[in-house]
Amino acid sequence: ECSAQECVDTLVAAALDGGGSDNITAILVRCH
């Protein structure tokens, strides 16, 4: 289970990586 900060860090990294919305959705599902 992710902490909130880990979630934010991962989302920022994905965004900087040019990750698509599908990737962000998968991250959010994993973290919640």
Q: Give pLDDT tens digits for 1-32.
A: 668 888 788 777 877 776 566 767 777 777 66
pLDDT at 8: 82
Helix axes 4-16, 21-31, angle to 10 degrees: 170
CA–CA dist 12, 3 (Å, integer): 14
CA–CA dist 7, 21 (Å, integer): 15
- C-alpha angle 17-25-19 in degrees, rounded to nearest 5: 15
Q: What pTM was estimated for this model as a whole?
A: 0.42
